[in-house]
Amino acid sequence: MSGTVWWKSGTVYQIYPRSFQDSNGDGVGDLRGITMRLDYLAWLGVDAIWISPFYTSPMADFGYDVSDYCNVDPLFGTLEDFDELIAEAHRRKLRVILDFVPNHSSIEHPWFTESRASRSNPKRDWYIWRDPAPDGGPPNNWLSNFGGPAWTRDAATGQFYYHAFLPEQPDLNWRNPAVRAAMHDVLRFWLQRGVDGFRVDVIWHLIKDEGFRDNPLNPAFVPDLPEINRFSQVYSCDRPEVFDIVAGMRKVLREQGERVLIGEIYLPIERLVAYYGEDLTGADLPFNFQLLSTAWEAPSVAALVEEYEAALPDGGWPNWVLGNHDRRRIADRVGEAQARIAAMLLLTLRGTPTLYYGDEIGLANVPIPPDRVQDPWELNEPGHGRDPERTPMQWEDAPHAGFSVSEPWLPLSLDAAKRNVDEMRDDSGSILTLHRRLLHLRRDHAALSIGGYRTVSSPAELSEDLFVYERYEGEATVRVVLNFGDRERRLTLPGGAVWIVLLSSRSGRSGAHEAGELAVAPSEGLILAPQ
């Protein structure tokens, strides 16, 4: 789309590198594996890949604990493999977005080894050290997101260090200019290797309250609080000083031209939109996770889209997400039929969509036998495990679904012989074909990729099951009709106009002409354009 930056008109595909493709037979995916599958991604029709962390790491949190920010963990390959991946991706016009994990390092990072050595070490202030409370306990009441206190006492000096996640993931002190400078250099290291942007891990956590006040509402003690609100209204994150940090990162990215900054932010809409920053100097795309927690009903989804659209700052570009490596898969949450509606929604709303690998084949969460649990969160707090949404991609009806020649690090789904790319790619009715058609339709219609959004609000047309909206650009209009229910619904198309079905989530209907009363089958989605 000429004139529009790629990260607005394009779509992002998230790869969890352990689970995409294993090239060396150790049961764990790797960078060369991703390179092997770039043709598939180009065929599918996505514009960018975001790769979860592959940096050197002891893997306490599967790479979200980095011990060398400027290298590749041997499990995933080498820097040369990375250079080849980026060259091959660019050759296919695929952009490459890396996962940047600046809030915390690994406990094994040399910076932390130095920092913990003594109170007077020059790197002491690179992390967050506090004296014990008068009773000898932790300095305040902050809790780790993975369970237990967020403070661990270090015997060497008797002080506590802060970790928003595992004790193996000490938080860096972003109030320290030396930390900022070092981290900016990390960004430059990868930018110079050609990366097109970053997804920044827990960006809203980077600055903590200067006075380390106790959290007034400790989410762990309020089990009924909706999960999306767990991190709001507390002193340990989302502090006003964070915006300066975000703007600083964005500036470094823009030194190299149009590179995108995506921020991981779990906050309610009114707090989330602040991360676009003053005069849009903040994150280009503060991740919008609202669809992960909204009730899957037409009125709630419609209300959410309107609330989000209305809350966006002028010029702020929207974005949508249905799943990621931390959350239950969409096919699991809404079921097989509605997963198709979800795909249509994700790929026709206004804003950049991020698609999670495997969702395009309708992969559901895979139950993990107790002896194969990997996620430390599950081990700390049973029931929170994220392994089920991180299982290997299923490519073909072959041993280990073509993911690896040996036993994968996590099990495949029971239906892997059928639910795989090879079985689905030539099936016109498959969810994979639906994704591919949607992605190509988006590219072909400016109304869908960059156009405006309006809810079709005529009360007669909005039933409890139907969500109807339009995308428009210049003279072109595209109308999207989604049936969230399991009953047939009818709606009246405006005027005497004839509409062409550009795409239906059910095969056989695309290309049909419709006028007057439109029948929408149970769980059917339709994309229509006036003739």
Catalytic residues: 201, 255
Pairing of strands 12-15, 48-51: parallel
Instruction: Mark 254-293 with x for binding to ligand TEU (rule: CB under 6 A) and - for no binding.
Output: ----------x-x---------------------------
Nearest distance from C-beta of residue 66 to ligand TEU, angstroms: 9
At 266, phi and psi to the nearest 5?
A: -100, 90
In the complex with ligand TEU, the residue whose CB is nearer, 266 or 469, is 266
Structure tokens at 191: 């930018």
Instruction: Mark 49-88 with x for binding to ligand TEU (rule: CB under 6 A) and - for no binding.
Output: ------------x--x------------------------
CA distance 318 to 309: 8
Nearest distance from C-beta of residue 282 to ligand TEU, angstroms: 19
Instruction: Mark 327-356 with x for binding to ligand TEU (rule: CB under 6 A) and - for no binding.
Output: x-----------------------------
What are the beta bridge partners of residue 15? 51
Residue 499 DSSP code: E
Nearest distance from C-beta of residue 146 to ligand TEU, angstroms: 8
In the complex with ligand TEU, the residue whose CB is nearer, 170 or 451, is 170
Which member of 114, 309, 326, 332 binds ligand TEU (CB under 6 A)? 326
Q: Can you spell out the DSSP letters for 449-475?
A: HT-EEEE---TTT--SSEEEEEEEETT
Span of 267-275, 323-331, 349-357, 423-431 interacting with ligand TEU by CB under 6 A: 323-331
Q: Can you spell out the DSSP letters for 312-380?
A: SPTTPPPEEES--TTS--HHHHH-HHHHHHHHHHHHHSSSEEEEETTGGGTPPP----GGG---HHHHH
In the complex with ligand TEU, the residue whose CB is nearer, 327 or 442, is 327
Which residues have C-beta within 8 Å of that of residue 370, sequence separation ≥ 6? none
Angle between helices 336-348 and 431-444 (to 10 degrees): 10
Q: Does 227 bind ligand TEU (CB under 6 A)?
A: yes
- CA angle, corner 495, sides to 492 and 498, nearest 5? 85
Span of 110-118, 147-155, 321-329, 420-428 interacting with ligand TEU by CB under 6 A: 321-329
CA distance 262 to 259: 10
Within 393-452, the residues that bind ligand TEU by CB under 6 A are none
Which member of 22, 81, 168, 201 binds ligand TEU (CB under 6 A)? 201
In the complex with ligand TEU, the residue whose CB is nearer, 41 or 60, is 60
In the complex with ligand TEU, the residue whose CB is nearer, 121 or 380, is 380
Q: Does 165 bind ligand TEU (CB under 6 A)?
A: yes
In the complex with ligand TEU, the residue whose CB is nearer, 375 or 524, is 375
Span of 133-141, 268-276, 302-310, 320-328 interacting with ligand TEU by CB under 6 A: 320-328
In the complex with ligand TEU, the residue whose CB is nearer, 235 or 484, is 235
Which member of 172, 202, 249, 366 binds ligand TEU (CB under 6 A)? 202
In the complex with ligand TEU, the residue whose CB is nearer, 63 or 525, is 63
Angle between helices 242-254 and 177-192 (to 10 degrees): 30
Residue 197: left (phi > 0), alpha (psi -120 to 50), or beta? left
The Cβ of residue 303 has, within 10 Å, a number of other Cβ atoms equal to 15
Residue keyed to tokens 């039933």: 463
b vs e for 465-500, b when ≥16 Cβ sit within 10 Å of the residue's Cβ? bbbbbbbbbeeebbbbbbbbbeeebebebeeeeebe
Q: Does 144 bind ligand TEU (CB under 6 A)?
A: no
CA distance 102 to 64: 10
Nearest distance from C-beta of residue 103 to ligand TEU, angstroms: 7
Is 468 in contact with 284 (CB distance < 8 Å)? no
The Cβ of residue 141 has, within 10 Å, a number of other Cβ atoms equal to 20
CA distance 488 to 480: 16
Instruction: Mark 90-109 with x for binding to ligand TEU (rule: CB under 6 A) and - for no binding.
Output: -----------x--------
Nearest distance from C-beta of residue 165 to ligand TEU, angstroms: 4
In the complex with ligand TEU, the residue whose CB is nearer, 96 or 101, is 101
Beta strands in 179-337, from DSSP E residues, in sequence order: 197-200, 260-263, 285-286, 319-321
Nearest distance from C-beta of residue 384 to ligand TEU, angstroms: 8
Nearest distance from C-beta of residue 150 to ligand TEU, angstroms: 12
**Total number of residues binding ligand TEU (CB under 6 A)?**
13
Nearest distance from C-beta of residue 488 to ligand TEU, angstroms: 36
Q: Does 357 bind ligand TEU (CB under 6 A)?
A: no
Q: Which residues of this protein are in contact with ligand TEU, per CB under 6 A?
A: 61, 64, 101, 145, 165, 201-202, 227, 264, 266, 325-327
